[in-house]
Structure 1
């Protein structure tokens, strides 16, 4: 049975850092997927970039993007989801898929939501991050019996990547 883990944490808890560290610890295993990170100027968050584990990067959301869609004050470029996120979720047998994150910006792209739904039904190991806030799609995932929920906090975020890597190493 595949491993399916959701890392749940509040904003700033270290979800992206944990996923990146986990990917770095699993160099011997094929790992695909993407991370997102804040774009800051003078200490203020102005957007988010998406970066595939293979190194492709683009601005996913920004205060200067018009949208639609808009999530909060950010316009979201759904083309980035199409060009980078979706192709990064293609895996082969034995791979691990890392997704950071299943948030409102990413899930605004319906094909991505469908791909994630298929991913969590496939015979593949998955570790994905989600915010603690409620959402219909992520709430449904959180309540599935085949998914392990792991709370990510500032207290456990440094040790957690190594613990997960030990479990996911084949």
Structure 2
């Protein structure tokens, strides 16, 4: 049975850090997916960048200067970034699962979920025979709440207290000889 882990935490808890460190620790797994990162202008958060794993391309997903739609809070979201960078490797993984492959998604958040095709792809991934680790916001949302309630999905809280040990613990569980 495939492994399904959702890493839930509040903003700043260290979810992205856990995913990046986990990806770096895995040696026997091919990792596909993406991470997101804040864009700061001085001390102010101005947006978010999305970066494909394995040294893939990076682009601005959301920014205060983007007009939208959609808009999430004060950010306009460029759904084309999801379609160009995030979806192709995820769709390929869902279509042809490979045992040594692991899908890492950071994050199943409001900006990413504004892309309907991304939601469809995530549903396909959770129905496929592939291991998945994804970060998720702690807020209620019908899409993520349904994933959290799946019997085959483990929900792990990410906190400042456990974020440093989590990547090593998860790597030991997920690494295959």
Q: TM-score range by the shorter chain?
A: over 0.9
* 2:72 counterpart residue number: 71
Deviations 1:28-85 (A, max 9, x none): 3111000001000111100000000032100000000000000000000000000001
Q: Distance in 1 between matches of 2:126 and 2:35?
A: 18
Q: Distance in 1 between matches of 2:64 and 2:83?
A: 20
1:11-30 aligned at under 5 Å gives the runs 11-30=11-30
Secondary structure of the residue aligned to 1:37 is strand
1:26-65 aligned at under 5 Å gives the runs 26-54=26-54, 55-65=56-66
Unaligned runs of 5+ in 1: none
Secondary structure of the residue aligned to 2:104 is strand
Matching of residue 6 in structure 1 with residue 34 in structure 2: no
1:1-170 aligned at under 5 Å gives the runs 1-54=1-54, 55-89=56-90, 90-91=92-93, 92-94=97-99, 95-170=101-176
Secondary structure of the residue aligned to 2:107 is coil
Q: TM-score, normalised by structure 1?
A: 0.98
Cα-Cα RMSD: 0.7
Unaligned runs of 5+ in 2: none
Secondary structure of the residue aligned to 1:35 is strand
Residue correspondences, number: 170
CA contact (8 A) 1:34 1:88 kept: no
Q: TM-score, normalised by structure 2?
A: 0.94
Q: Distance in 2 between matches of 1:108 and 1:23?
A: 25
Deviates more, 1:83-92 or 1:67-76: 83-92
